[in-house]
Structure 1
Amino acid sequence: MENKNDIIDTLISDWNRERPDLDATAMHIVGRLLILGKGLEKRANQSLGEFEIHYTDLDVLATLRRSGSPFELSPKELMQSVLITSGAMTALLDRLTKLGLIYRSPDAMDGRVKKAGLTEKGKDIIDRAIKIRFNEAKDSIACLTKKEKEAFLPLLKKLMGTLS
């Protein structure tokens, strides 16, 4: 394991010097998770460049694709899987519609609701992009051994369970 100081070590050292009354030790984990999250999202966006979609676009397209035929969901159903606000969801669905990746149609059960569905173009893009995305995700954790990944997974799940 590398013992080289990083920005989080510097941050904690500075706070320990300036405010020794504060316990900044949680930032060893939280700060690194925040930086990791931003870095992972940046990597994901870069890997999707050839498709001219962003990570949030992929998230919606993937949710529709994995829902199974007919690859349609309501905005509410999408919101349960995609971590964005309802206002952002509306803007995202409008953007994906303009790109020809999804279509919007009234729900047969409730005409006030417009379901989102994958177009053939959208299905083709998500089928190609998800393969690249999964490979990028695999590459992003390649520095971890199998044993480290197995140890890390339940800890991440536990932390996520307490914050959700």
Structure 2
Amino acid sequence: MPDAVDQITAAWRTHRPDVDTSPMEIVGRITRLHRLLDRALTDFFHTHTLERWEFDVLATLRRSNPESGLTAGELNKAAMVTSGAITNRIDRLTAKGLVERVPDTKDRRAIRVHLTDKGRQLVDDLLPLHMANEQRLLTGLTPADREALIPLLRALSESLGDITLS
């Protein structure tokens, strides 16, 4: 069954047959999928009174070393946002009682961000529901399709300069 990208590329083949629009077959679909997935994930988190970025910060803290927490700089690197944005995010999560700022025991100049018990419980409760939602979003692909897609997406991501978070 043709999708929107098929319709767009067919129109280009009619009006500009001299231009190879085959990259649009991939980039156009990835772009459209991003919008669809973003909307679905945003809606999911809104039903749990969270913004997507809030869950991302909380989940980053949960999967990192929970004993030592993370500095704002470490969170900033993981979230790939400006330092002002991460400060604002930490402030908002602190106001909700989901994180707390704690002085670093080894460096008096540094502040570390920790999950509160409430924040940890929220992530622990929400993670299985989030994974079930993502599973639902992927029902259009067979397990074999998913396994085949993973290395292809990884290779594209790496070729565009995506790096591991350290």
Distance across 1 between alignment mates of 2:39 and 2:106:
39
Query: For residue 89 of structure 1, what is the aligned residue in structure 2?
Result: 86
On the 8 A contact 1:104/1:114 being kept in 2, the answer is yes
Are residue 155 (structure 1) and residue 152 (structure 2) matched? yes
Which has the larger displacement, 14-23 or 74-83? Answer: 14-23
Matches within 5 A, 1:14-163: 14-70=11-67, 72-163=69-160
Question: Which structure 1 residue ranges, 4+ long, deviate > 6 Å from structure 2?
Answer: none
Equivalent position amino acid for 1:144 in 2: L
What is the TM-score when the length of structure 2 is the normalising length?
0.85
On the 8 A contact 2:98/2:119 being kept in 1, the answer is yes
CA displacement 1:49-103 (0-9 Å, x = unmatched): 2431111111110111111432611122223332433332222111111111111
Q: Secondary structure at the match of 1:144?
A: coil
Higher relative contact order (CA 8 A, sep 6+): 1
Count, aligned residues: 161
On the 8 A contact 1:73/1:115 being kept in 2, the answer is yes
On the 8 A contact 2:69/2:114 being kept in 1, the answer is yes
Q: Secondary structure at the match of 2:79?
A: coil
Name structure 2 gaps, 5 residues minimum: none
On the 8 A contact 1:101/1:120 being kept in 2, the answer is yes
Distance across 2 between alignment mates of 1:71 and 1:39:
36
Which has the larger displacement, 36-45 or 129-138? Answer: 36-45
Distance 1:86 1:34, change over 3 A: farther
CA displacement 1:6-31 (0-9 Å, x = unmatched): 22223223333444443221111111
RMSD: 2.0
On the 8 A contact 1:51/1:125 being kept in 2, the answer is no
Equivalent position amino acid for 2:19 in 1: L
Which has the larger displacement, 146-155 or 39-48? Answer: 39-48
Name structure 1 gaps, 5 residues minimum: none
Distance across 1 between alignment mates of 2:128 and 2:38:
16
Give percent identity, aligned residues only: 35
